[in-house]
Amino acid sequence: MEARCFEVKTEEAGQRLDFFLSRRLAGALSRAKIKRHILEGLARLNGLAQDRPDRLLQAGERVEILLALTPAPPGAEPGELPVLYQDEDLAVLNKPAGLSVHPSPGEPSGTLVNRLLARFPSLRAQEGERPGIVHRLDKDTSGLLLAALREDSRLALSAAFAARLPRKEYLALVYGVPSPGAGVIDAPLGRHSRQKTKMTVRPKDGRPARSDYRVLHAEPRGRFSLLAVRIHTGRTHQIRVHLAHIGHPVMGDARYADPQTAARALGGQAGAERDDFWRAPASRQLLHAWKLAFPHPCRRDAAGGPLELSFVCPPPEDFIEAALALSARTRRLILTGNPGCGKSSALRLLRERGVPVWSADQAVARLYAPGADGWLLLRRRFGMRFMAEAPGLAPPPIDKKALFAAMCAEPGLRREVERLIHPLVQADMRLFFQGLERLSPPCPLAAAEIPLHFEGAPHAADSGADERPLVAGVHCPLEIRAARLRQNRSWSEAMIARMESWQWPEEKKMAAADFVLDNSGPPDKLALEVDGLLRLLEEKRLQSRAGLEQTLRGLMQG
């Protein structure tokens, strides 16, 4: 680098920094390049770094700028360079993510241009520091890129891009789902006022920029969507800024994806943006140049007009992997059945096989603890009627025997207690499932034992979930269940009849379930039933994943 220093004369006071340097360096650098130098931090004013091209100068100030010496021509370097099409005039490439298009002061080698020179040595005959380049993609954007192999075709293609003749369409995985499902983003863009390496929407003084989008696939929970985006202008970072502007930033975009927006889309709780929960399962912004159509600069079609070339390039595997990872969810399994059927035994078997489990009975016990929400509701509604006498204990515990006796004697009171307590139980279960689904990756399966799942009004256990849980009914004939209840719980015939009357008949319950576990035999038979259910659920999970993958691959093929 070469340092050039100047002192601001009296007649030069009030000039912009970039204008001043363009006058002093006339013939050496264009004003556009001087502006770029300033934005890259290569200018100093009175010894301090200055990154504002519009800074107004005062007489006597000292201006210094670092100029790159005459750059050495880029060298040829081997590397991956998928060529989708080539003739003597041009080549269409599939640029890998993570590869810069051309050398720069901070990255003088290891770019696509270096690989192009290794693949096409004739490019050395072209003028300039970027042989073959007629348009660009961001370093971490993958996909279709057009390169000119001859100087005349480079000039023709550059003119075509300047006239906006090529048609470019991108794929983007974004946080959330835009509404409406198709639209136009017409928002002028310009340099950010404080962060010079960023672009932003500038309605008053930005350069015109227009992007059209349409939703190709929306994740059912609204966590993410796959968009096709066509750009009518080619501003720096246009798609990334436009999509962030409408509240649906590109996944993995460390520069423009607001963590709070992303965390909300993925279902994060308050503060989730401070950890890695919001980040996409990818190491780069998931943006891919998908389709490219343009007139050939030298060839003609049968009618004598320019030959139209059109290409479609599916994205790399990280698109599919990210979509599948973010579509993963916790399958919710409900165990239900009539008293004595063996629900708790089935739940224990699931827990022993590594499945997280939840029990409505245990949730009720927690809610009835002194000072808990259920205790507070009963105390507020019934006063001390169902509070046990417990000298020295404050607050007093619930007298569960007295409460149960009253519920047996007064059907209206039983229904009122159910209306008070059931919503709390269901909320506790939702928190259980949601916590497992927020893991990374989500827990694939969790089970909840709910004796009154079907009797709940109206299937309240489903509320808060966008997908209906699967229900496994535990079947056992009444005579076997009654014998177990008499032996294991010392229930009387009257108690058995009363508890049966509070629930659907077993035949109706089993008919409404998705699966039936037969517990009419010995204990090892129930274990086999549970193992069979787990195998079936895993098959369903894999089938669902394969179906989504097939759908996404079909869409991405164009």
184 DSSP β-pair partners:
212
Of the residues 138, 253, 428, 462, which is catalytic? Answer: 138
CB 451 within 8 A of CB 360: yes
What pLDDT, on a 0 to 100 scale, did the predictor assign at position 269?
46
Residue appearing with tokens 């770094």: 49
Give the per-residue pLDDT at 554: 96
- From first CA to last CA, the distance across the chain in angstroms is 47
Identify which of 358, 470, 370, 364 has the alpha carbon closest to the alpha carbon of residue 425.
364
Report the distance separating Cα 478 and Cα 506, nearest Å: 8
| Whole-number pLDDT of residue 331 | 95
User: Read out DSSP for 162-212?
Assistant: HTT-SEEEEEEEEES--SSSEEEEE--EEE-SS-TT-EEE-TTTSBP-EEE
Model pLDDT, residue 395: 85
Q: What pTM does this model have?
A: 0.79
Out of 287, 322, 357, pick the residue that ends a domain: 322
Q: Round to whole Å and give the CA distance between 328 and 321.
A: 11
**Amino acid 335: pLDDT:** 97
**Same domain flag for 440 and 537:** yes
CATH number assigned to the domain comprising residue 362? 3.40.50.300
The reply to whether 73 falls in a domain is: no
Domain boundary among 269, 289, 322: 322
Number of helices and strands (H, E) in the chain? 16, 20
Ranges of the chain with pLDDT below 70? 1, 27-28, 68-71, 267-280, 392-393, 457-466
> Given 3-state DSSP classes, what are the helix, strand and coil percentages for the chain, each rounded to the nearest 5?
35, 20, 40
CA 257 to chain centre: 11
- Closest by CA position to 229, among listed 184, 281, 179: 184
Q: How many CB atoms lie within 10 A of CB 418?
A: 17
Assess whether 276 carries a catalytic annotation.
no
Q: Is residue 294 part of a domain?
A: yes
In a domain, 557, yes or no: no
Supply the CATH number for residue 110's domain.
3.30.2350.10
Boundaries of domain holding 48? 2-67
What is the pLDDT at residue 73?
81
Q: Which domain-ending residue is among 322, 356, 383?
A: 322
How much is the pLDDT for 268?
56
Q: Are residues 318 and 417 in the same domain?
A: no
For residue 426, which amino acid is it?
A: Q
Q: What CA–CA distances, in Å, run from 229 to 179, 238, 243, 357, 444?
A: 15, 11, 10, 44, 33
